[in-house]
Structure 1
Amino acid sequence: MMFTLVRKVDLNYTTNRIIVLFSLITGVLGYLMTDSFSSGLSIAGGTFLTWALTREVDPKYEYAAFLSAALSLVNLFYFESLNLLVLFWIILLLRMISGVCGKSLTLVDFIVVFGFSVYLSVRSENSVYLIPFLIASVSLLFYKEKPRTSLVFSVLTAAVFLMESFHFNFLSISEPFVSPRIDLLLRLVLILFPAFTPSSRIAGVLDDRGTPVHVKRMNFSQRIFSFIVLLLYLFPGIGLNNLIIYYSILAAVAVYPLIGRKTVQSQ
């Protein structure tokens, strides 16, 4: 058995070379602006993961990922800290649901993503991190992807969630760090975002093996992204820099198709 949820960054593709170079440049800028090598590394990693996460949320529009990476450069001016592990965890969850890697999920995939979910819940002392993985497992059961394994991990995750929530009292709501009006706006954006991800936007999208993706699985993985962000915003809380990344992705996914359509029409 092997881990199938890692996608190779083939530097033979121009876009991949561009994002690697762009990430390195932002890392250097981050170091110069913060005078901290670790902060520069975090900013570089955050830029790359912003691009990678956008590719999972909107695989049809390749350059939407570059738009989100560019928008996330706001972090250069307000840098505090980035939780890169959470970004990577969300990427793995979306790949698990969508099947975009083109390979059948293995037991190792379930164990690794479940392990990340448990680790994040314990580290943050908040069981809410288990909810997205539970939803992912149940959705895979519904789509008949490894049904026995999906059922086992669904039950296991539900049990761990209940234990953490009630025995350790981990489930706690965080206080918003913005004004009530902005807080309401941020929540509304997350709630309304699924309206910008119709299944028609998946037409023609291929998985890593060159076959058409499962439309319903891919569309569900797109829509679950904003729900995951909403959970993180309401419960364990999101740091400012991660929040900037999430909303950079939402903005790029919502806006870029309009830009791309106008570009095509003008040609």
Structure 2
Amino acid sequence: MFTLGRKIHLDDKTNISIVLFTLSAFALGWLFSGDVGSGFNLGGGVFLTWALTREIDPAHSYSAFIAAALSLFHIVYMDTPHFLVMAWMLLLLRAVNGITGKKLTLFDIFSALALTTYLSFSNENSLFLLVFSLALIGIFMFQKRKKVVFICGTIALILFLIKSLFLGHYSVIDADQMNPLNILVIISSIFFSILAKFDLKDEVKSDNGKKADRTRIFYGQLLYSITTVLFIFFGHLTSSDLFIQLSAICGVFINYCATKVVDYYKRFSN
């Protein structure tokens, strides 16, 4: 059974809002460019940004909507996000942070390995296997299926070494390819890791209503930051990809600052 999906119940106002927002973004992208594909890119980017932010800041729903709104600006880049890569990252985060409230199944783990292997070979980039191995380290620490996780981790590590050492499926970004967006994403990722460690400690409920493991959530947040930085240097993502990842982090920052201001105002008023 696959447990890494999160259902979108249309009887929930939050879910209805993001569906309508996604459709509006699709229409905006289509009207702005005159191309249906651009509308799909913008709408899909908005939805994935919302979904990613829910995983890195599950305690605050407003963070995801702020991030989704910010991601609208990636329309200026007019390039296509790597939706499958973003969906892959989303699945790894869910596997690590346990926000679904369900135990990982064999199907979950092997499906993630299969998708990772496909992305690694289709993109000729061994980085996917390295990130998958980092995710498995967290899963190994928190889950009971240690034997299966160890086997998959060993397979991923062997494939990573083969692809890196013998197939040359890795590359480093040139210094002249670094731009302000790359640098901003790197700095934001570092600060997000610090914020997650010391301040994002509110109680979180999993999808089944039980208290989520704060340590697992932090490992997921750390994995997101590390993955984002690694893909800048070794992944060669599009500007839209980077803007989506930056929007997710900025959504968390803005909501955090707004919450602190409101709390301060309430204390001051009293």
TM-score category by the smaller chain? over 0.9
Cα offsets for 1:153-195 (capped at 9, x unmatched): 1111101111111221101112367556665444333233200
Shift of 1:200: 5.4
Secondary structure, counterpart of 2:200 in structure 1: helix
1:146 aligns with 2:159: no
Whichever residue aligns with residue 15 of structure 1, its letter is T
1:89 aligns with 2:88: yes
Match of 1:193 in 2: 192
CA distance in 2, matches of 1:164, 1:10: 41
1:163 aligns with 2:159: no
User: Quick check: 182-191 or 96-105, which moved more?
Assistant: 182-191
The answer to whether the Cα contact below 8 Å between 1:58 and 1:64 also exists between their aligned partners in 2 is: yes
1:224 aligns with 2:227: no
Q: CA RMSD in A?
A: 1.8
Shift of 1:265: 4.3
Match of 1:244 in 2: 243
Match of 2:258 in 1: 259
1:46 aligns with 2:41: no
Shift of 1:52: 0.6
CA distance in 1, matches of 2:107, 2:176: 38
Match of 1:233 in 2: 232
Structure 1: where are the runs of 5+ without partners? none
Cα offsets for 1:117-137 (capped at 9, x unmatched): 111111211100111110111
CA distance in 2, matches of 1:211, 1:106: 19
Match of 1:121 in 2: 120
List structure 1 segments (4+ residues) > 6 angstroms apart after TM superposition: none
The answer to whether the Cα contact below 8 Å between 2:135 and 2:223 also exists between their aligned partners in 1 is: no
Whichever residue aligns with residue 36 of structure 1, its letter is D
Shift of 1:225: 0.5
Secondary structure, counterpart of 1:91 in structure 2: helix
Match of 1:214 in 2: 213
State the identity %: 31
The answer to whether the Cα contact below 8 Å between 2:193 and 2:225 also exists between their aligned partners in 1 is: yes
How many pairs align? 266
Say if 1:229 and 1:215 are closer, same or farther in 2 by CA, change over 3 A. Answer: same
Match of 1:108 in 2: 107
Secondary structure, counterpart of 2:92 in structure 1: helix
Say if 1:106 and 1:60 are closer, same or farther in 2 by CA, change over 3 A. Answer: same
CA distance in 2, matches of 1:178, 1:263: 41
Whichever residue aligns with residue 227 of structure 1, its letter is I
The answer to whether the Cα contact below 8 Å between 1:94 and 1:221 also exists between their aligned partners in 2 is: yes
CA distance in 2, matches of 1:128, 1:167: 14
Say if 1:35 and 1:145 are closer, same or farther in 2 by CA, change over 3 A. Answer: farther
Cα offsets for 1:92-145 (capped at 9, x unmatched): 000000111111100111111111211111121110011111011122212243
The answer to whether the Cα contact below 8 Å between 1:10 and 1:16 also exists between their aligned partners in 2 is: yes
Alignment of 1:21-100 (within 5 A): 21-100=20-99
Shift of 1:76: 2.1
User: Quick check: 136-145 or 47-56, which moved more?
Assistant: 136-145
Say if 1:137 and 1:182 are closer, same or farther in 2 by CA, change over 3 A. Answer: closer
The answer to whether the Cα contact below 8 Å between 1:199 and 1:219 also exists between their aligned partners in 2 is: no
